[in-house]
């Protein structure tokens, strides 16, 4: 599947969001608008990962609902972010959240590779 055939949950195609393999626009929190990542600092990649839903169904007490996400911005250095929070470690991963409003997870941090991944479907571009 080529980049041109893929669309994000926001309806934008990677061609509108990615230039030379990097994020073309500023990455922001979809809830509060805080800047998470500046232009051209995240590499667009395709990989499948299950992430907990940002809003859990409270009727399913004690059960974590997940969804499969497959489009990410890969960020090698955690200090590249403008405004990101990290959860406690869960199975060699830390989940990423907006440092201003705590919305998340917007992605994850892999403890083994020391790299971060921001899900395109969980952020906005500006």
Q: Residues 56-115: pLDDT tens digits?
A: 877 877 788 899 999 999 999 999 999 999 998 999 999 999 999 999 999 999 999 999
Note the pLDDT of residue 58: 76
Task: Yes or no: say if 80 and 53 are a contact pair by the CB < 8 Å rule.
Answer: no
Is it the case that residue 2 has pLDDT exceeding 60?
no
pLDDT by residue (tens digit) across 5-63?
Answer: 333 344 456 778 999 999 999 999 999 999 999 999 999 999 999 999 998 877 877 78
Q: How high is the pLDDT of residue 68?
A: 96
- For residue 52, what pLDDT is reported? 93
- The owner of tokens 């922001």 is 28
| Beta-ladder partners of 27 | 37, 125
pTM of the model: 0.85
Neighbour order of strands in the sheet with 27-29: 35-37, 27-29, 123-125
Measure the CA–CA gap between 116 and 80, rounded to whole angstroms: 10
**Structural domains in the chain, sorted by start:** 3-51+70-125 (2.170.150.10)
Q: What is the rounded CA–CA span in Å between residue 77 and residue 49?
A: 20
The contacts of residue 126 (CB under 8 Å, 6+ apart) are 25, 26, 28, 33
Q: Where in 10-122 does DSSP place strands (E)?
A: 18-19, 22-23, 27-29, 35-37, 43-52, 66-75, 84-86, 93-98, 107-110, 115-119
């Amino acid at each position: 599947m080529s980049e041109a055939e893929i669309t994000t949950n926001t309806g934008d195609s990677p061609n509108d969001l990615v230039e030379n393999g990097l994020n073309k626009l500023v990455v922001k929190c979809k809830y509060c608008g805080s800047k998470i990542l500046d232009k051209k600092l995240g590499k667009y990649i395709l990989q499948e990962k299950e992430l907990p839903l940002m809003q859990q169904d409270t009727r399913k007490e004690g059960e974590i609902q997940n969804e499969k996400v497959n489009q990410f911005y890969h960020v090698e250095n955690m200090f590249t972010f403008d405004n990101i929070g990290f959860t406690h470690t869960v199975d060699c991963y830390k989940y990423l959240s907006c440092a201003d409003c705590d919305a998340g997870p917007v992605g994850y941090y892999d403890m083994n590779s020391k790299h971060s991944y921001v899900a395109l479907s969980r952020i906005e571009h500006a």
